[in-house]
Amino acid sequence: MSDNQYEKQIKKALRRSGLDFNVFCYDLIDSTNTEARRYALSGGKIPAVFIAEEQSAGRGRMGRSFYSPLRTGLYISLLLDIPDSDAVRLTTSAAVAVRKAVLQKTGIDLKIKWVNDLYLASRKVSGILAESVLVGEHRFTILGIGINLDTDFRQTELRDIAGSLGISPKIRPALASELIKDIHSVLYEEDPLRVIDEYRQSSCVLGKPVIFTENERSYTGIARDITDHGHLLVLLDGGNEKILSSGEISLRINNGELKS
């Protein structure tokens, strides 16, 4: 574990906001989501947050890896006492919180691509991996977030897809504290419809032609709306409607604008 000053800085900022999280910072770890799972299974105190300078086995959705080189991004996982019964709500709320925190700390206005990728212009700069862990009879949620701050993708196969905010990684402790506060406030927001409204307003998918694959079948249509439950309503080319509820669907905007 790193004894870096970030841990203290973040703890202090959270305490000032009345949030009692255990905070763990690492120089290098396989994956903060994996560490959160190990910690929960070993009976650690929850809520807790795990932040790494570098991940050797960062994980993304759909079995993908998440490129996490040293000190170029914020790699953070929150372990929360929330059941995963509404996974879509959790991930849409987390996306709203990431957008809010980035806007607040950098002035950069990200757009959300359903369900939980964040884009700057045509490049993905942040992703969210929501998982759960069963400890005895109790299920906890792990929300893992990666934000590329000044990651260089030129030598990687992600060079045409991924991007960075283009800001100094020195912002990490301030951004991490803001993000934890924002996640906490959106998840416990009294009126979840307010969060969904914010999600809709930040969407870069609505009104756009989309292509997605479900059960090995490909569909095209127009993204019409995001329901109050965070599901995506697509008007298919044949005239039928389809409601997408799973983040395991790979969705592309069908004009080459956004890839994932």
- Give the binding site for ligand BTN (CB under 6 A): 31-33, 55, 58-61, 64, 66, 75-77, 117, 127-129, 144-146
Q: 49, 62 in Cβ contact below 8 A?
A: no
Residue 105 CA to residue 86 CA, distance in Å, equals 29
Smallest gap, in angstroms, from Cβ of residue 241 to ligand BTN? 27
**Identity of the residue, 77 or 106, whose beta carbon is nearer to ligand BTN in the bound complex:** 77
Output 74 or 226, the one with its CB closest to ligand BTN. 74
CA dihedral 114, 198, 182, 231 (to 10 degrees): -40
The CB-nearest residue to ligand BTN is 127
Q: How far is the CB of 25 from ligand BTN (least distance, A)?
A: 13
CA dihedral for 156, 246, 120, 174, sign (positive or negative): negative
Query: Is the CB of 64 or the CB of 170 nearer to ligand BTN?
Result: 64
Q: How far is the CB of 5 from ligand BTN (least distance, A)?
A: 21
Q: Which secondary-structure segment (H or E) carries 9?
A: helix 5-16
Q: Among residues 23 and 221, whose Cβ is nearest to ligand BTN?
A: 23
CB 10 to ligand BTN: min, Å: 15
Q: Which is nearer to ligand BTN, 13 or 98 (CB)?
A: 98
CB of 193 to ligand BTN, least distance (A): 26
CA distance 149 to 40: 29
Q: Which helix (H) or strand (E) holds 35?
A: helix 32-41
Q: Enumerate the H helices of 113-216 as residue ranges.
A: 172-187, 192-201
Tokens of 114: 């359903």
